[in-house]
Structure 1
C-alpha cells in the first residue's frame, strides 16, 4: 500500500512565503551564505496549532526567522533582515491578496490559503556568533486546506 502525499504546514507556509519574499525560503538556513547574502533568507518551523477535528481546515502557528549577512563586514545588516520581516507583516495586512492557491512540490496536492496573520511584531535576536542579522516573527498563522485532486 502506498501512502498518498499530503500537504504539511511547512510546505504550505513555505509556498505562501515564497509569494511574498521570493525563492529564498526554506525550513533551514543554507550553509553557504553566498547564495543569499544579497537578498537575505527566511526560515520557518511549526511551533503550534491544532488541526480542526470536523473540517479539513488547518491553521498552524509558524515561527519565522529572517536572516541577513554582510560578507564584507562583521556588522550585522539589521535593516535587511527587518525589511524581510516587515514585508511578511505587510503581506498579512493586505487582505485582498492573502487568499490564493499555492503549488507544492511534485506529488503533493496544491493548497488553498484562506488567511494569514502574525501574532506578534518582529523582533531582533541578538548574540548570533556568525554576525548574521536575525529577526524573529514569533507567530505566523496560515489557515489552509488541501485542494481536492
Structure 2
C-alpha cells in the first residue's frame, strides 16, 4: 500500500518564508543553486536543517528551530554585497511580526498535506558569516516555528 508523504519542518519553513512580503517562491529552498547568476539579482534564502526544538508531547504541534541563511552575490566582482544580504534578512524578520502570515494555511509541494504555521520568531539576531572563498555575503539566524499538519 503506498504511503502518503508527511509534511516536515523544512518544507513548512520553505513555504512560510516564501510567503513573506518581498520574497518570491523560487527564492527560498534548502539548497543554494550552484550558479549565482540565477539568484544574484534578488539574493537567496536557504533553510538549513533543524538545529533544535521538540515536538509537543500531547498533540501534533511541532516546534522546530531551523537555521536560516540569506545569501547575496555579485558575480565577477569579488566584493561581498553585505547590504543586500542584510536587507533580505530584514524582510524575513519583518514577516515574523506580520499577523497576516500567522494561522494561515500553507500549500506544500504536490502530494504533501497542507500545514499551518501558528507562530514564527527569530531566536537570534542575524549574524554575518564572513570568509567565504567565493565572496558571497551570508547572514545566519535561528528561526522557531510552531506548526501543525492539516
- TM-score of the pair, normalised by structure 2: 0.93
Which runs of no fewer than 5 residues in structure 2 stay unpaired? Answer: none
Question: Could you tell me how far apart the structure 1 residues matched to 2:60 and 2:143 are?
Answer: 19
Q: Secondary structure of the equivalent of 2:70?
A: strand
| Range with greater deviation from structure 2 (95-104 or 20-29) | 95-104
TM-superposed CA distance for 1:99, in Å, is 2.6
Gaps in structure 1 of 5+ consecutive residues = none
Alignment of 1:1-149 (within 5 A): 1-20=1-20, 21-23=23-25, 24-45=27-48, 46-137=50-141, 139-147=142-150
1:91–1:98 CA contact under 8 A, matched in 2: no
Deviation beyond 3 Å, 4+ runs, structure 1: none
Q: 1:99 & 1:33 partners in 2: Cα distance?
A: 34
Q: Displacement of 1:96 after TM fit?
A: 4.2
Deviations 1:7-37 (A, max 9, x none): 0000000000000122201111100111101
Counterpart-to-counterpart distance in 1, 2:136 and 2:103: 32
What is the Cα deviation at residue 72 of structure 1?
4.1
Residue pair 1:65, 1:134 contacting (<8 A) in 2 also:
yes
Q: Distance in 2 between matches of 1:90 and 1:143?
A: 17
Distance 2:3 2:13 in 1: 22
1:2 Cα offset (Å) = 2.1
